[in-house]
Chains A and B, each alone.
Chain A
Amino acid sequence: MRIYNTYIIIVAILLLMTTVILAATNQQSLGIYYTAYVIEALVVTELFIYFNKKARRGLGLVSIVLFSGFLIIAFLEIFNLVV
């Protein structure tokens, strides 16, 4: 389980650091926060290539859900710009 722990700790640290940095820059858009989280989670997941098949399949599902959220945010932003 050591590889799982390393992965979780890296993701947790990255998400926390992103929150601190964006909060320090007085970022008020939730979409920016969410987009940064999704990109980080996807990149770290791709870097951990040595996960077993079941874990990779599960994390792939999480990535799809997170990416769907990102697409919804992008769609809403475009919609607001157009309307």
Chain B
Amino acid sequence: MLNKNPYTWIGLGLLISGIFLSVAAYFIFLTTWLVAMGIAMVILAFILLVLARTVSWLSPEVSSLLLETGTENIAALVEELGIKSKAIYLPSSLTGGRPQALLPLHTNSSPLNIDQALPHRLIVKYGPNPDDTGLLVTTTGTTAVGMLETMPGPAPAEIEIALTHLFTGLLNIADGAKVSGNNDHIQVEIRNPRIENKINWHEQCFGGTLSSTAASIVAEALNKPVTISTEKHDKGKCSIELEVLY
């Protein structure tokens, strides 16, 4: 069955008209450039038909619906518990599987020092004090990290390539990313983001979708916990500053 997206229909249209044009130009009109034009249309048709097979069957509306449902549920939980602390993005080595975000339940808990992988539970204890308890949740970055073929190294240039590949090639939500920084702070600049940030409780704890995804990738690349210090949205640019915790 044909994947009924615009690429398929345009590809088929170009394929049929390209073949007709080439044959007619070669045998009837006897014009070389017109035959070549038909061949160019056939080449474009092949490219379109191949790309049509890689486009998701899910409409953007359904994807948005699923994302919003997930975040709304977490937002309701966070709001109900009255958590005001910022999420700490942990690499997979500290969660025993895939990178996740730890949301401390108390703002006055001791500085983070996790030396072994946290258990696979929603509510986890991450330190010796009674207040060192938090929610260990899956974020968009958790899934996004799994989409990368190879994990980037700790160098800013490697993280930049990974983020650009993810945001531009895989998710198509921005035009590129620029990463700079040192051991303690990482600055990420995302060009032309096409995803809106909502100002609500969830975003204040976890950051926006782009920041959250970038933080997970950076945490995984550095193999260290990171948190979002600042997040600014200017015209066609999203600037994020990440703090590396230890």
Spell out A's residues near B (CB within 8 Å): 1-4, 7-8, 11-12, 15-16, 18-19, 22-23, 27-30, 33-34, 37, 41, 49-55, 58-59, 61-62, 65-66
Number of A-B contacts (CB under 8 A): 85
Binds A, one of B75-83, B112-120, B167-175: B167-175
Contacts of B164 in A (CB 8 A): 50
A33 touches B36 (CB 8 A): yes
A3-B172, A58-B54 are contacts. A19–B36 as well, Cβ < 8 Å? yes
Known: A15-B44, A33-B40, A50-B169. 16 other contacts (CB 8 A): A3-B172, A4-B7, A8-B47, A15-B40, A15-B43, A18-B40, A19-B37, A33-B32, A33-B39, A34-B36, A37-B40, A49-B165, A50-B168, A52-B169, A55-B50, A55-B51
Interface assignment of B218: CB less than 8 Å from any CB of chain A: no
Total contacting residues, chain B, CB less than 8 A: 26
When chains A and B are docked, how far (Å) is the Cα of A2 from the Cα of B32? 34
Contacts of B53 in A (CB 8 A): 54, 58
Interface assignment of B149: CB less than 8 Å from any CB of chain A: yes
Contacts of B169 in A (CB 8 A): 3, 49-52
Interface assignment of B33: CB less than 8 Å from any CB of chain A: yes
